[in-house]
Amino acid sequence: MKRPTALGALALSLVALAPMILAPALASADGVEAHRPLASSPGAGDGLDRFRNQPVNWTVCQDTALAASGTRCARITVPLDYGKPRGRTIEVALSRIASTDPAKRRGILQTNPGGPGVRGLGMPGELRKVMSPGAAAAYDIIGMDTRGLGESTPLDCGLTRGTWLHSPGADRAGFDTSVRLSREDARRCWATHPDVLPHLSTRNIARDLDLVRSVLGERRTSLLGQSYGTVLASTYAQMFPHRVDRLVLDSAPDPAEYPFRMVRRAGPANENALDDFARWAAPRHPEYGLGATPEAVRTGVEAMIGRAAQEPIRLDRYRITDHELPLLLLISIGDDTANPEFAGMLRVLLDAADGKPVTVPPGLRASLTLILESAGTGRAADYAAQLGIYCADSAMPHDPEYYWRAVERSRESQPVFGPVSHAPLPCAFWKEKPREPLTVIDNEVPALQVQATGDTRTTYESGLGMHRAMRGSKLVTVPARTHTVYAHYPNDCVTRAVNTYLRHGTLPAQDTLCANEHNSRTPSGPSGPERPGPRGGLAWADQLPHS
């Protein structure tokens, strides 16, 4: 592990000592709160002053759950194309949970839950639940539906599914179906939003974050990103290093691998997770009946997929084939605390395959509904925004045969998940290349990074790439199979490290290994047992439900 450079330590001390300019919220007679923007802001002459000087009116959120949590909502106007600030504009939806003690308020904490394509207005409420009183007092927590997503100016392509994830199955015909579906998704989006799609890049979202900072009257901003949100936050830090106060990166991929190589690495990572689960399930064979040895558990899963290819598994109105079953397993295996639920799901599927009467658990029903019935729903619209970001960020190989060869190569070492992670994304058939290259991350901005050794979506090895790129970062490691640790996988060591950093600006003196507080047996990590081949991340499944 690396030691902090002198420049990195100096930068940390300057951040800790930097004075914060607080922009008080102004209460109007009707109860609507407004932020007064800064009187002036560096960057004058870039054509953005009309955006920086707009008021922000915080009102009761339309979503009843958000409103009940004390979250307030607003919209601001941003340029669609920052290169043409006098051109077309769009709206970006924001949320805020205010500091619990204005006298102790330090500034704002901007957040992103991941995806890309995960709606962010609810994230302030999630974070408030795990923040210490001191951290909660220090920040107004700001959420955002990024451009094209959710309550922001929408990007609805009229897609007929909610994810590009589709297992090609065992033969060429299934692969050709994957190609056709991805090609059709790309065609629909370009037919409906050709003027918007080129401007949904991570760099433009980072510019939106900086405009939010300015509009809210802040000289600096703190950021907390999960999964894809760490790519966004590190991009912001690279583009606007002098604007960063405190930076938390939770479950990061290697920014040099985002997005294409990150997606391709998901197959081995999830194979490792299945092996880890099999080692947990084998001693519990009397309870779940999945196999008395880890090898028997895995063999049973692979055999079930083979059977689904011959005869679909019927659960109520759903028909599950070898095209849906690997995806169902993939979105359900990512958290070791959910091993009992995953085992129960497998038992239901096996019994249904045998024609036995079963009761479908609510989590399994929700996952099946998402996979099989997303047409015309908000999930399908969110998927379009996800594609918009990925494809505006990176070009991908166009030749379907490239993907067919990759699928075929993956089958031996990645029999369950390899075909899913190597099938083509719709970006392969995107009409236009990215307008800008991705930002290369290479800086000494201080940051706290949290990573789990068994993460199936942004793997530990991938996270080490972010740690190297963010040279001022300190890494907190959790030996667990999980994703997005701070808000979703309670661990006192992680919670204490993040809250201490947010409250006091104090990074650990060195990279830290936390204990796994949920399991006595450490899941397979970077040095533990694993299947052949590289391991990798799956940030693009962040919006899919956990069982």
| Residues 327, 363 contacting (CB under 8 angstroms) | no
pLDDT attached to residue 12: 28
Range of weakest confidence among 344-348, 376-380, 498-502, 538-542: 538-542
Across all residues in the chain, what is the average pLDDT?
Answer: 89
Q: Which of 45-54, 250-259, 366-375, 528-537 has the lowest mean pLDDT?
A: 528-537
Under the banding of pLDDT at 50, 70 and 90, the label for residue 265 is confident
Q: How far is CA 399 from CA 197, 403, 427, 429, in A?
A: 22, 7, 12, 9
Confidence of residue 223 (pLDDT cuts 50, 70, 90): very high
* Torsion angle of the four alpha carbons 250, 255, 258, 261, in this order, in degrees rounded to the nearest 10: -110
Mean pLDDT of 60-86: 97
| pLDDT-derived band at 296, boundaries 50, 70, 90 | very high
pLDDT value of residue 535: 25
Omega cis (within 30) before 113: no
Write out the E strands in 70-180. 72-79, 89-97, 107-112, 139-145
Mean pLDDT of 462-479: 98
Handedness of CA 404, 406, 408, 411 (dihedral sign): negative
Residue 151 sits at φ, ψ, to 5 deg, of: -80, -10
CA–CA dist 276, 411 (Å, integer): 19
C-alpha 80 chain-centroid distance? 23
DSSP of 421-453, one letter per residue? HHSPPGGGG-SS--SSPPPPP-B---EEEEEET
User: Quick one: the chain helix, strand, coil %, rounded to 5?
Assistant: 45, 15, 40
Burial 311-335 (b: 16+ CB within 10 A, else e): ebbebeebebbbbbbbbbbbbbbbb
Region 121-135: what's the mean pLDDT?
98
Measured distance between the N- and C-terminal CA atoms of the chain, rounded to whole angstroms: 35
In this prediction, residue 43 has a pLDDT band, given cuts at 50, 70 and 90, of low
Say what the pLDDT of residue 476 is. Answer: 98
Assess whether pLDDT exceeds 80 at residue 280: yes
Segment 350-355 mean pLDDT: 97
Q: How far is CA 513 from the centre of its chain?
A: 23
What pLDDT, on a 0 to 100 scale, did the predictor assign at position 44?
Answer: 56
| Predicted local distance difference test score (pLDDT) of residue 377 | 86
Q: Is the pLDDT of residue 2 over 50?
A: no
Span 523-528, average pLDDT: 41
Between 529 and 89, name the one with better pLDDT: 89
Separation CA 112–CA 94 (nearest Å): 11
| Residue with the two structure tokens 């991908």 | 396
Find out whether 146 and 385 touch, Cβ atoms under 8 Å: yes
- The Cα angle at residue 235 between residues 475 and 510, in degrees rounded to 5: 15
Residue pointed to by tokens 């960020």: 393
Q: Which of 429, 484, 400 has its CA nearest to residue 188?
A: 429
* Residues 150/121, Cβ–Cβ less than 8 Å: yes
CA geometry: angle 457, 249, 92, nearest 5 deg: 90
Strand partners, 226: 250
Residue 259: cis peptide before it, omega within 30 degrees of 0: yes
Query: Is the confidence at residue 438, as pLDDT, over 70?
Result: yes
Percentage of the chain lying above the pLDDT 90 cut: 83
| Region of poorest pLDDT, from 27-41, 322-336, 508-522 | 27-41
| Residue 242: both structure tokens together | 């002098």
Provide the H-helix boundaries in 85-216.
Answer: 123-130, 133-138, 172-192, 202-215
Q: What is the pLDDT of residue 532?
A: 32
pLDDT of 191: 98
**In the predicted structure, residue 15 carries a pLDDT above the cut 80:** no
Three-class secondary structure of residue 25 per DSSP: strand
Can you give the pLDDT at residue 16? 31
Residue 35 has pLDDT above 80, yes or no: no
142: helix, strand or coil: strand
Q: Which pLDDT band, with edges at 50, 70 and 90, does 540 fall under? A: very low
Q: How confident is the model at residue 5 (pLDDT cuts 50, 70, 90)?
A: very low
Average pLDDT over every residue of 275-281 = 98
DSSP state of 361: -
Closest to 332 measured CA to CA, from 192, 165, 133: 165
Q: Identify the pLDDT of residue 32.
A: 52
- Residue-wise pLDDT tens digits, 230-242: 999 999 999 999 9
Looking at residue 33, what is its pLDDT? 61
Go through 122-143 and write b for each residue having 16 or more CB atoms within 10 A of its CB, e for each that does not. Answer: bbbbbbbebbeeebbbbbbbbb
Q: The pTM is what?
A: 0.89
